Chain A
């Protein structure tokens, strides 16, 4: 195998999707807010995964080195734990969506109504 070299290319690729942008929400700006929230959620995950890496590296040698963090391989057990934490984390961030569906299950129709609104 050739080593994959992290060289810097002069070539530029395209990051944005061309053409008509998809819109789902009636209120202006909500689609963008969803995208922003998704990216924030992603970046928080990046921090959490890096922290887990640092902790694993520290535990392994007692000394934290930049290269060690970059190159560290989790054991399958550590990876499995992290994956489980990731799933739980996503579930927490987007809890409101699960709640909407679950709220309809079972005896939802039997709920006593609140007093009439003033």
Chain B
């Protein structure tokens, strides 16, 4: 719940607003666990057998399953309730952020200027254009998306995202909502114990959940986060300052960062690439290759590619592309990460991917146990945001 936000940009929700958030979290859990289970049952008991009777074979891929499912009343209700719940996530936190938006801007400004604790920096660049593919839609059905600005020095959309995410997460992302990167970086650091990065970049960092998780893993490293969305970058820096974590935030487009060649040891992104069209993804991977030092590593937490999944699981994960204002999601999942890394100039034998159990769901020991064996194998828990989730990651070393 958003009442768990534990830094200086916390906003006060009334008791009834908190109750609305509790309902939304409970409703999401119902849709994504219970109703999703019912949907799978319906598919197995009715839709797949009917398809087999008429076609003499099972559906071959996600689109065939989708076509067979979309007329089902249960699928319509699953989709409608999920969309409504998604919109209710944001509506449940908007009033408190709106009430405090002017005060939030003042608090953030004070934190930017604070010299008492951490010495992280904030570099804004008004010439950075929000790309048209992002500017044109309310990603995740979030009114105002990441970037809309409502006043000077605005952090409102960062606050909407932070508060909303904590309602959305149903507790699955841990107390600081950084479970994905805590899990991935814990796994990575244990698998490569001799690798000691000095400089780390988090691309498309929004409000810095992942950025700060890398600082936890490598406290001596210099950690940077970039995003095009001004309200998120400001909020991310103020949040880091409030936690006393030194991190450097920049308003930058990951396609054109202007960072020098060979300047980072780790280049990471979390849940970023699937929001980006294919040709821009290719530019971003090339830019990452350019910025990486020899011996450095690029890694991306992402949704698993369709080629790893069954037809039904592919259909299930691609739902967001059609119904959650994430139009590039399916295009990304249809790509082959190994091919894309090769196209960006990484050597084929330097590509890797793995699946890591969620640390907040399964515990740290479960993550460490996977270190010697984890590889990317698709099953219905991979990338599926529900109880028992496991996280897919791909990347490549530069040598």
Per-position contact with A for B198-214: 1 when CB-CB < 8 Å, else 0? 00000000000000000
Binding site for A on B (CB under 8 A): 7-8, 10-12, 14-16, 19-20, 22-24, 26-27, 29-30, 34-35, 37-39, 41-42, 45-46, 73-74, 76-81, 83-85, 87-88, 90-91, 94, 96-103, 107, 110, 136-138, 141-144, 148, 150-151, 154, 156, 160, 242, 323, 325
Within 8 A of B (CB), among A22-43: 22, 24-25, 31, 34-35, 38-39, 41-42
Flag if B30 contacts A91 (CB, 8 Å): yes
Could you say which residues of chain A place their CB within 8 Å of the CB of B150?
11-13
In the complex the two chains form, what is the Cα distance from A108 to B14 in whole Å?
Answer: 48
Contact status A9-B99, CB under 8 Å: yes
Provided the pairs A14-B148, A15-B94 are in contact, do residues A31 and B23 lie with their beta carbons within 8 angstroms? no
- Inside 8 A of B14's CB, which chain A residues have their CB? 70
Judging by beta carbons under 8 Å apart, are A6 and B99 in contact?
yes
Chain B contacts for A10, CB-based, 8 A: 102, 151
Query: Are A7 and B99 in touch, CB under 8 angstroms?
Result: yes
Q: By DSSP majority rule, is chain B's interface helix, strand, loop, or mixed?
A: helix
Contact A104 B46 (CB under 8 A): yes
Known: A19-B138, A50-B19, A101-B74. A9 touches B39 (CB 8 A): no
Contact A9 to B38, CB < 8 A, known contacts A4-B11, A25-B80, A35-B84? no
How many chain A residues touch B (Cβ–Cβ < 8 Å)? Answer: 49
How far apart are the CA atoms of A104 and B389 in the complex, in Å? 27
* A contact set with B: CB distance below 8 Å: 1-2, 4-19, 22, 24-25, 31, 34-35, 38-39, 41-42, 45-46, 49-50, 53, 69-70, 83, 86-87, 90-91, 94, 97-98, 100-102, 104-105, 108
Q: How far is the CA of A97 from the CA of B36 in the complex (A)?
A: 11
Bound together, the chains give a CA A5 to CA B101 distance in angstroms of 11
> Which residue in chain B gives the minimum CB-CB distance to A8?
B99
Contacts A6-B12, A12-B150; is A94 near B30 (CB within 8 Å)? yes
- Tell me whether A9 and B100 are in contact in the complex, defined as CB-CB below 8 angstroms, given that A4-B12, A14-B143, A38-B88 are known contacts: yes
Task: Give every chain A residue within 8 A of B12 (Cβ-Cβ).
Answer: 4-6
A109 to chain B, nearest CB (A): 10
| Chain A neighbourhood of B45, CB < 8 A | 101, 104-105, 108
Q: Which residues of B contact A5 (CB under 8 A)?
A: 12, 100, 103
Q: Determine the chain A residues whose CB is within 8 A of the CB of B136 once the complex forms.
A: 19
- Further contacts, 8 of them, CB under 8 A, given A2-B8, A6-B12: A4-B8, A4-B10, A7-B99, A9-B100, A15-B91, A17-B87, A25-B80, A42-B20
Q: State the CA gap A105–B40 with chains docked (Å).
A: 12
Chain A residues, Cβ within 8 Å of B15: 49-50, 53, 69-70
